[in-house]
């Protein structure tokens, strides 16, 4: 397959089912077992998830119309929430997560839960390379690369789809964060990596993948 150049672009008490955001800082979504969407957004920069909790750590959050017994357990946390939020959202300007993905296994039956994410919006450059293409990270003279996030796989149906059959781009659960990019590129002025299974492994056979990197120059 011919090599292609990478594309580089600059990239309270809440009622049940409600959400409140401090832009660039925190989002809380009460889980009322409806289709509750947890929405993160950066007006400037990209999402960088710092902390995430699905469960309950406070008896004063998401309390409306809930009996005390559903609020009493404040040591309830679904394992893997932080990793899931980082994998799905880091490096994006907007990210939406349905809270139902955290409901099984239930971390604390009988407790009314919520999804809460603390995040920042660092200014960043986003570089994308379709499978079997090269991604080029670079900074002006005197600055070096710092990678915020990198993953190889597929998490949407819009990126690297030209000329590809639907069956190769419909799997948006191909989420494969990688430390290879920061290990190779951090602290360097420029860095080139091939987006391929030979470098990152095969996270999802039959899916046409891409490498997406968000980084800054410091």
> Structure tokens of 11?
């990239």
Per-residue confidence (pLDDT) for residue 32, from 0 to 100: 83
pLDDT tens string 130-176: 999 999 999 999 999 999 999 999 999 999 999 999 999 999 999 89
pLDDT tens string 39-97: 999 988 899 999 999 999 999 999 999 999 999 999 999 999 999 999 999 999 999 99
The yes-or-no verdict on residue 205 having pLDDT over 90 is yes
Q: What does the chain come to in residues?
A: 218
pTM, to two decimals: 0.77
Selection from 141, 143, 139, 133 nearest residue 212 by Cα: 133
What does each C-alpha distance from 186 to 107, 135, 191 come to in angstroms? 37, 14, 9
Assign 34 a pLDDT band (cuts: 50, 70, 90).
Answer: confident
Phi, psi of 122 (to 5 degrees): -65, 145
- Rounded Cα gap, residues 165 and 217, in angstroms: 37
CA angle, corner 157, sides to 23 and 120, nearest 5? 20
Selection from 63, 68, 55, 61 nearest residue 113 by Cα: 55
């Amino acid at each position: 397959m011919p090599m292609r150049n990478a594309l580089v672009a600059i990239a309270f008490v809440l009622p049940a089912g409600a959400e409140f955001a401090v832009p660039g800082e925190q989002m809380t979504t009460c889980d009322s077992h409806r289709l509750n969407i947890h929405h993160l957004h950066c007006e400037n920069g990209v999402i960088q998830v710092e902390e995430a909790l699905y469960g309950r750590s406070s008896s004063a959050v998401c309390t409306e119309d809930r009996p005390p017994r559903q609020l009493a357990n404040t040591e309830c946390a679904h394992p893997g929430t932080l990793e899931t939020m980082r994998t799905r959202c880091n490096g994006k300007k907007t990210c939406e997560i349905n809270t139902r993905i955290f409901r099984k296994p239930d971390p604390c039956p009988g407790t009314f839960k919520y999804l809460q994410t603390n995040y920042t919006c660092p200014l960043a450059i986003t570089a994308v390379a379709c499978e079997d293409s090269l991604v080029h990270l670079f900074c002006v003279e005197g600055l070096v690369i710092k990678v915020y996030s990198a993953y190889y796989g597929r998490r949407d149906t819009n990126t690297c789809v030209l000329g590809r059959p639907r069956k190769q781009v419909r799997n948006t659960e191909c989420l494969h964060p990688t430390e290879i990019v920061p290990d190779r590129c951090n602290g360097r002025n420029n860095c080139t990596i091939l987006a391929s299974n030979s470098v990152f492994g095969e996270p999802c056979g039959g899916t046409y993948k891409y490498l997406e990197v968000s980084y800054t120059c410091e």
